[in-house]
Structure 1
Amino acid sequence: MDMIVNPTPRLNGKIGALSSKNYTTRYLLVAALAEGTSTVYYPAHSEDSDAMRRCIQDLGATLIEDDEKATITGFGKHPLDVQELNVGNAGAVLRFLMGIATLCPDVTFVNTYPDSLGKRPHDDLIEALGQLGVEVEHNDGRLPITIRGGKPTGGKIKVSGEVSSQYLSALLFLTPLLEQDSEIEVLGDLKSKVVIGQTLEVLEQAGIIVHASPDYMTFSVPGRQSYKAQDYTVQGDYPGSAAILAAAAVTQSDVVVERLSVASKQGERAIVDVLQMMGVPLTHENDIVHVKGNGRLKAIEFDGDAATDAVLAMVAAAVFAEGTSRFYNVENLRYKECDRITDYLAELRKAGANVEERQAEIIVHGRPEGVEGGVEINAHYDHRVIMALSIVGLRAAQPITIKDAHHVAKSYPQYFEHLEALGAQVKWI
């Protein structure tokens, strides 16, 4: 389905933030890796988190869910001997489960999204799993991927952090279950270190001991550990809320978003600081962000590595800022559902934005007067691109049509419903 985003000068209202996709997938996984019954309160419902739900059940977990919680009885360190797993288009779920699948004799991850996840490389994780004595059959580092494991060993493991931190997270979830102790060394510049902090936070809550160096470049993981069955509560999601907050920032607005923890370890919490740096009137108290936008923004420079999933929304806001903004250290955006630098900026140009790209930078020459719009743009099946393009549509002179906008459901199924509740003029076609 396509979405028409009409110019919308004013947004008003209150919404509750979606539950965090990143924390939900991690909590579901550690609950499945425990022997016993765990409860996850307020889990996110999206294509990614649903992929984790589906796969842990395929691997032997039982899951019962109501409107408030998911109750999971785990399989511990003994997943079922499954032949095939389908993660849909969920890259993090794939990578986390590639680690866990080494406990199975022979598992194939199928390729159901050849134009998106099917194009993404996983070589660094494949190489690391090979160091555990696991045989991996793959298509030049891409799906379909078959893992022949059963008895992975621990020991010394080296993994690159240059492309994604998800490879390291996969090893951190797996290695506590192995018979041997493990020493993990990260090679190169580790991307998205803040997300590793989230993984370590969840592991600690699950009773797992990991000794991490302060720079997250070396890890000592004792083997023969067990995940504890217990209760978890999912916090509100900053990556999805970043788009709502940016939309409020570029319009005349009085918008409240609840359930955004002031003390959150989500790197995308930086959206609040960035919008304040851009001169947007807002407060953040008692886990509530209140934006009183006036549509006036100032250009900024920002290191995007720690807030990867909010950068596209920040860029969308910068399209309307006074001056030139620069978002640097963002090369890992190229290795997501699409190339979130080249592909995204191409669509922004169609809408009338003045943007430039470098290998690891996005440069935005702001147009406070707005952009022309009046075009059909391709979001490349990428949920973050869809949300970011919708922000630009609110300030365009003419409507923007976003192709295949239903792929927003990968992380935020209610996104356009929430925008509409705040007064945005949007329409499915």
Structure 2
Amino acid sequence: MDVIVTPTPRLQGEIQALSSKNYTTRYLLVAALAEGTSTIYYPAHSEDSDAMRRCIRDLGAIVEEDDEKIVITGFGSNPKPINELNVGNAGAVLRFLMAIAALCPDVTFLNVYPDSLGKRPHNDLIDSLQQMGVEIDHQEGKLPITIRGGQPKGGKIQVSGNVSSQFLSALLFLTPLLKEDSEIEVQHDLKSKVVIGQTLEVLQQAGIVIHASDDLMHYKVPGNQRYEAKNYVVQGDYPGSAAVLAAAAVTQSDVTIHRLEENSKQGERAIIDVLRMMNVPLTHNNGIVHVQGNGKLKAVEFDGDAATDAVLAMVAAAVFAEGTSRFYNVENLRYKECDRITDYLNELRKAGANVEERQSEIIVHGRPEGVEGGVEIDAHYDHRVIMALTVVGLRAKAPIRIRDAHHVAKSYPIYFDHLKALGAAVEWVESN
């Protein structure tokens, strides 16, 4: 399905932020790794969290849910031996479960999205698991991947952190369950340190002890630990809300979003700071963000590494800012569902934006007068690109058609419903 975004001068209303995808997937996993019954309140519903639900069930967890919560009886350190797992297009779920699959004798992860997740490399995690005595068959680091585990060994483990922090998170979920103590050393650089903070926060809540160095590059993990069955409450999601906040910033608006904690460990919380730097009138108190946009923004410079999943929304806002904005230290955007630098900027140019790229930078020459629009653009099957392009469409001079916009469901299935509730002129149409 495609979406047609018609220029919309004013947004107004209140919405509840979606629940955090990152926290939901992590809580689902630690609940499955516990022996006993855990309850997760306000879980996210997205393709990623649905993939994690499906896979932990396949691995032997009992999963029951209603409108408010999920109750999970875990399998502990003994997942059911199964032959195949289908994670859909969910990269984080794949990587976390590749580590957990090391506890199984023989599991193949299927390649069901060859044009998206199927193109992404996982060599760094494969190397680390092989150091632990796990045999792995793969296609130059890509899916399909077969893990032949059963008896992974702790000890000294090295992992590269310069493509994704998800490889390190995967090892942090696995190593506490091993007989041996483990020492994990991160090599090169560590991308998205903020997200590792979320992983460590969830592990601590699950009763797991991990000794992390201050720079998050070294870890001591005692072995023979058990995950505790617990109750968890999922906080509101900043990455998805970033696009709604950007939409409110570039229009005349009076928009309120609930359930966004001020002291959240989500790096994408920085969208609030960036919009303030852009002179967007907003308040943030008691978990409520209130934006009274006037469509006037000024350019910013921002290190995007800690807020990866909000950068595209920030860029969309900067398209309409006075002056030249620069978003730097964002090379890992290239290794997502698509190349979120080259692919995204190509589509922005079609819509009339003046943007340029470096290897790890996005530069935006703002056009406060708006962009032309009137084009059909390709979102490259990427939920973050779809959301960000929609923001641009709201301030274009003519409608924009976004192809395959249904892929927004990967993280935010009701994104367009929320925008409509705020008055945005968006409509679904059949793909050509």
TM-score range (shorter-chain normalised) is over 0.9
Instruction: Determine helix, strand or coil for the equivalent of 2:190.
Output: coil
Amino acid in structure 1 at the alignment position of 2:193: K
Match of 1:202 in 2: 202
Tell me the CA shift for residue 328 of structure 1: 0.2
Structure 2 counterparts to residues 289-368 of structure 1, below 5 A = 289-368=289-368
Output one character per residue of 1:272-329: Cα deviation in whole Å (capped at 9) or x when no partner.
0000000000000000000000000000000000000000000000000000000000
**Residue type of the partner of 1:137?**
D
* Residues 12-35 of structure 1 deviation map (CA, whole Å, 9 limit, x = unaligned): 000000000000000000000000
What stretches of structure 2 of length at least 5 have no aligned partner?
none
Distance 1:143 1:351 in 2: 34
Structure 2 partner of 1:28: 28
Query: C-alpha displacement at 1:141, in angstroms?
Result: 0.5
Paired position in structure 2 for 1:248: 248
2 CA distance for matches of 1:299 and 1:101? Answer: 46
Q: Deviations over 1:177-212 (max 9, x none)?
A: 000000000001100000000000000000000000
Provide the rounded CA distance (Å) in 2 between the counterparts of 1:188 and 1:354.
34
Which residue does the alignment assign to 1:112? 112
Aligned partner letter, 1:427: E
Aligned length: 429
1:135-157 deviation line (CA, Å, top 9, x unaligned): 11001100000000000000000
Amino acid aligned to 2:254: D
2:412 maps to 1:426: no
Q: Distance in 2 between matches of 1:145 and 1:247?
A: 40
Secondary structure in 1 aligned to 2:409? helix
The equivalent of 1:91 in structure 2 is 91
SS at match of 1:356: strand
What residue in structure 2 maps to residue 272 of structure 1? 272
Instruction: Name the SS of the counterpart of 1:188 in structure 2.
Output: strand
Q: Does 1:38 align with 2:38?
A: yes
Mapped partners of 2:174, 2:96: distance in 1? 8
Deviations 1:348-407 (A, max 9, x none): 000000000000000000000000000000000000000000000000000000000000
Structure 1, unaligned stretches of length 5 or more?
Answer: none
- Secondary structure in structure 1 of the residue aligned to 2:297: coil
Q: How many angstroms apart in 2 are the aligned matches of 1:425 and 1:106?
A: 50
Q: Does 1:8 align with 2:8?
A: yes
Aligned-partner residue type, residue 122 of structure 1:
H
Counterpart Cα distance in 2 of 1:423 and 1:158: 50
* TM-score between the two structures when normalised by the length of structure 2: 0.99
What's 2:177 paired with? 177
Q: Which runs of 4+ in 1 moved over 6 A?
A: none
Aligned position for 1:47: 47
Counterpart of 2:416 in structure 1: which amino acid?
A: F
Letter in 2 for 1:151: Q
| Residue of structure 1 in register with 2:146 after alignment | 146
Identity of matched residues, %: 80
Residue 160 (structure 1) aligned with residue 141 (structure 2): no
Is 1:381 the equivalent of 2:381?
Answer: yes
The 5-angstrom pairing of residues 64-83 of structure 1 reads 64-83=64-83
Superposition pairs of residues 405-424 of structure 1, within 5 angstroms: 405-424=405-424
| Matched AA of 1:280 | V
**What pairs with 1:391-402 in structure 2 (closer than 5 Å)?**
391-402=391-402
| Separation in structure 1 between the aligned mates of residue 115 and residue 403 of structure 2, nearest angstrom | 15
For 1:209 and 1:94, locate their aligned partners in 2 and report how far apart those are by CA, in whole Å.
24
Amino acid of the structure 1 residue aligned with 2:218: T
Spell out, residue by residue over 1:27-76, the C-alpha distance to the aligned partner (whole angstroms, 9 max, x if none). Answer: 00000000000000000000000000000000000000000000000000
**Inter-partner Cα distance in structure 2 for 1:376 and 1:122:** 33
CA distance in structure 1 between the partners assigned to 2:56 and 2:127 by the alignment = 24
Kindly provide the amino acid, as one letter, of the partner of residue 42 in structure 1.
Y
TM-score normalised to structure 1 length:
1.00
RMSD: 0.3
